[in-house]
Amino acid sequence: MKPAAGVCNRWRDHGVLLDVMTTDETCAAADPRDRVLAALAADLDAGFAELYAAYRTVVFSTALRVSGRRADAEDLTAEAFLRAYRALAGYPPARVAGLAPRAWLLTILLNVWRNDRRTVARRPASAPLDAAPDPADPAEPVDRTAERHETGRELAGLLALLPEDQRIAVVLRHVDDLPVAEIAQVLGCPVGTAKSHISRGLSRLRELHATTASSEVPDE
């Protein structure tokens, strides 16, 4: 089995990632690809359990922050993993072995979301976006938690105002901590384009924050 660090080096070989790469150790911890692929090769169902355990947080976080609604995020995550399983059931072993599971799952998720939105667009407008703050961390002092919540809630709301490509790129980069090359893979665009989506998205978030900071963000 190839060490997980090899995956990082593969990205680094593109020569464009040094500015965004973290250390090999954090990368090894963040990408359980080899373990998941070995489990899938041994047994599709047991391997699926590994796949879900390894990537449920990145898939759900992306679904939540891109769609903006918790109920939608649960539906999208369930549908994406189900489609992934059905695809895996039909793949020959060589195709499974060559998979980059995280980018692959996120691509499926975003396809499901786009298709879903096209369907929803034909129906009348639904409920407003959830601000979806995270539950409080008991270890954190109360005022820090409140402050972090305020920021999180506001940013979650502001993400919805970004153009689709920028929103996805910012979520993948800064919520999910994906390397830029992987983001480009998920978006199906050149690395330079992915970088520009990320930086434009961030500046837009800062502008939006500045304009809403004086006025109020409605709480619900």
Residue type present at position 52: Y
Stretch that binds other proteins, among 11-19, 25-33, 78-86, 161-169 (CB under 8 A): 78-86
Binding mask 80-99 for other proteins (x = CB under 8 A): -xx--xx--x----------
* Shortest distance, position 202 Cβ to other proteins, whole Å: 6
> In this complex, which beta carbon is closest to other proteins, that of residue 10 or of residue 29?
29
> In this complex, which beta carbon is closest to other proteins, that of residue 13 or of residue 137?
137
3-state secondary structure the chain: CCCCHHHHHHHHCCCCCCCCCCCHHHHHHHCCHHHHHHHHHHCHHHHHHHHHHHHHHHHHHHHHHHHCCHHHHHHHHHHHHHHHHHHHHHCCHHHHHCCCHHHHHHHHHHHHHHHHHHHHHCCCCCCCCCCCCCCCCCCCCHHHHHHHHHHHHHHHHHHCCCCHHHHHHHHHHHHCCCCHHHHHHHHCCCHHHHHHHHHHHHHHHHHHHHHHHHCCCCCC
Are the beta carbons of 47 and 210 closer than 8 angstroms? no
> In this complex, which beta carbon is closest to other proteins, that of residue 41 or of residue 213?
213
Binding mask 23-62 for other proteins (x = CB under 8 A): --------------------xxxx-xx--x---xxxxxx-
* Shortest distance, position 117 Cβ to other proteins, whole Å: 20
Q: Is 200 in the site for other proteins (CB under 8 A)?
A: no
Among positions 167-186, residues that touch other proteins (CB under 8 A) are 170-171, 174-177
The residue ranges that bind other proteins (CB under 8 A) are: 43-46, 48-49, 52, 56-61, 64-65, 73-74, 77-78, 81-82, 85-86, 89, 132, 134, 148, 151-152, 154-156, 170-171, 174-177, 202, 205-206, 209-210, 213
